[in-house]
């Protein structure tokens, strides 16, 4: 059994694919089915238009049930999140000079997921994801302490 099959079976953490890798669009039914099953949906602000086309307007508010966290990452501008009818926006405490952001989104997701698995609420989990991404970017810039970069 593949890791994605195992994840689908346990029903804990799934992501909605944000972009098709080919010119073919995923079916709206399949995308909606994934969104309904997910507990956490993370996407970047650059992908918001695509998701709106596929899932329809108002999809974030519909998806953000009490057991579902929806997060839109915004790079240096932080992240927005929706859960159970609520909405929040977090901005980083400090900026980091970025020359290569490769992997920052993955690191964000890792920090977010680790925090959620540990029982963190929505805002704390998003902060954890932001901190994890910032740490990667600081390391890449040769800055190993908060406040430099």
- Sign of the Cα torsion 104, 109, 115, 121 reads positive
In a domain, 65, yes or no: yes
CA distance 34 to 133: 26
- The answer as to whether 25 is a domain residue is yes
Domain annotation covers residue 147: no
| Choice between 109 and 61, residue whose per-residue pLDDT is larger | 109
Is 149 domain-assigned?
no
The residue among 119 and 27 whose pLDDT is bigger is: 119
The residue segments making up the domain with residue 22 are 3-140
Does the residue 136 lie in any domain? yes
Among the ranges given (5-9, 62-66, 80-84, 96-100), the one the predictor scored with the smallest mean pLDDT: 5-9
Nearest to 45 by CA among 108, 115, 114: 108
Inform me whether the pLDDT recorded for 67 exceeds 80: yes
Residue 54 CB coordination number (10 Å): 21
Q: What are phi and psi of 120, to 5 degrees?
A: -70, 150
**CATH classification of the domain holding 130:** 3.40.1190.20
Report the range of poorest mean pLDDT among 59-73, 74-88, 89-103, 132-146. Answer: 132-146
Residue 67 tokens read as: 């057991």
Q: Is residue 145 part of a domain?
A: no
Q: Within a domain: residue 148?
A: no
Number of domains present in the structure of the chain: 1
Mean pLDDT of 51-59: 85
Using the predicted structure, report yes or no on whether residue 123 has a pLDDT greater than 90. Answer: yes
pLDDT of residue 24: 52
Give the residue, 115 or 34, on which the prediction is more confident: 115
The reply to whether 20 falls in a domain is yes
**What pTM was estimated for this model as a whole?**
0.76
């Amino acid at each position: 059994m593949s890791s994605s099959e195992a994840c689908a079976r346990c029903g804990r953490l799934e992501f909605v694919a944000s972009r098709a890798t080919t010119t073919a669009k995923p079916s709206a039914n399949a995308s909606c089915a994934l969104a309904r099953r997910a507990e956490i949906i993370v996407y970047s602000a650059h992908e918001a238009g695509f998701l709106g086309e596929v899932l329809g307007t108002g999809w974030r508010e519909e998806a953000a049930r009490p057991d579902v966290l929806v997060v839109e990452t915004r790079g240096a501008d932080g992240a927005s999140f929706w859960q159970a009818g609520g909405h929040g926006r977090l901005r980083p405490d400090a900026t980091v000079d970025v020359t290569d952001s490769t992997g920052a989104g993955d690191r964000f997701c890792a920090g977010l997921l680790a925090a959620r698995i540990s029982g963190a609420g929505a805002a704390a989990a998003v902060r954890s994801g932001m901190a994890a991404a910032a740490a990667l970017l600081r390391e890449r810039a040769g800055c190993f302490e908060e406040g430099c970069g």
